[in-house]
Homo-oligomer: A and B are copies of this chain.
Amino acid sequence: MLILMDLVRTIIVETSDSQVIVLKERDGERHLPILIGMNEALAIDRRLKGLRTPRPMTHDLLANVVEGLGCELEQIVISDLREHTFYATLVIRQDGRLIEVDSRPSDAIALGVANSTQIFVESHVLDEAAGSE
């Protein structure tokens, strides 16, 4: 079962290699913290705020490629947790078909956050990794 989540926090600590994003289930209280890299955290923060750069950054390029090919990011699914690593899937609509592409959650969210793409988590992942706040 897929559970709809919202990105509620991006914590960026300049001195740390690992940054943290926190997802919260929309119809519940469970939170899912995910460790991500600095570049992806900065991309999420920037694209969430709609800040423009003079030239497209890498996730902007990814978004422009998807759009340029006439496709749309339909949803993001955080599908698994194996050996402390979260797995995600981009679900891209192409001519009425849905194409799935394996992704790190951080890249998926950096891509989707600019368009408020829905983020889902498989319930077994949330059962295993969620905390409350």
Contact = CB atoms under 8 A, between A and B. Distances in A.
Interface string A46-66: 000000001111110110111
A40 B61 CA distance: 13
A52 B68 CA distance: 28
B101 A68 contact: yes
B103 A56 contact: yes
**Copy total for this chain:** 2
Interface of A: 39-40, 54-59, 61-62, 64-66, 68-71, 85, 87, 90, 92, 94, 99-104, 107
A62 B87 CA distance: 16
A90 B59 CA distance: 15
A93 to B, nearest CB: 10
B102 A56 contact: yes
A94 to B, nearest CB: 6
